[in-house]
Homo-oligomer: A and B are copies of this chain.
Amino acid sequence: MASPEIETLTQALARLPGLGPRSARRAVLHLLKKREAAMAPLLRALEAVNERLVTCHVCGNVDTTDPCTICADPRRDARLLCVVEEVADLWALDRARLFPGRFHVLGGRLSALEGVRPEDLAIDSLIRRVAAGGIDEVVLAMNATLEGQTTAHYIAERIESFPVRLTQLAHGLPVGGELDYLDEGTLAQALRARRPVS
């Protein structure tokens, strides 16, 4: 039988999204077989993240500094604020290097099913940032899911009394998307938002 240390590690890994008990066990075995090549680097990386990373109290990003690099960067346009569900969404938008402004991470999405209410998300702090002024445009960059759009609607209602421009990401065909393979919802959105050929 595996030792209690291995059981504990297996259980800790199995709780990660994407890993179940079986694959966690396989992962532990891999770590045990490759102690120098896999276990040591993973341990060091985990320690580094655990020791050095903090959550930015302004935007909710995770970084080695608080405020984070993005919030502290004077070249970023402070009048532009992009609201996202998760830190991963912030990273995805920032990887594309297309957004010159700052971010606000909600930490999730409203969900009746999972019991996530407005007070569970960083919505009040978003309203405070908007109320403090200095922001011209708030881009709602929620996921194009039912829950993401519900969250966007809720935030739009809370923000509409403030003098800022409220926008949201465009919906339509993804780049490389073939009509034949796209769902009806996407096609309907693309058709509804059709634009004159320039």
Contact = CB atoms under 8 A, between A and B. Distances in A.
Interface string A12-24: 1101111100010
Please state the number of chain copies in the assembly: 2
Contacts of A162: none
Contacts of A45: 5, 8-9, 11-12
Task: Among A30, A35, A46, find the residue whose CB has the most chain B CB atoms closer than 10 A.
Answer: A46
Interface of A: 1-3, 5-6, 8-9, 11-13, 15-19, 23, 25-33, 35, 38-50, 52-53, 55, 62-64, 69, 86-88, 91, 94-95, 107
A14 to B, nearest CB: 10
Task: Among A11, A25, A32, A69, find the residue whose CB has the most chain B CB atoms closer than 10 A.
Answer: A32
B52 A31 contact: no
A72 to B, nearest CB: 13
A49 B2 CA distance: 11
Given A6-B53, A23-B17, A53-B5, A12 B41 contact: yes
A44 B49 CA distance: 14
Contact of A39 (B32, B39, B49): B49
A41 B107 CA distance: 22
B64 A38 contact: no
A64 B3 contact: yes
Contacts of A27: 16-19
Contacts of A91: 1-2
A19 B43 CA distance: 17
The 5 A-B residue pairs whose C-beta atoms are closest, nearest first, are A18-B23, A9-B45, A12-B42, A16-B27, A12-B45
B50 A95 contact: no
Contacts of A13: 42
A29 B64 contact: no
Contact of A38 (B12, B31, B33): B12
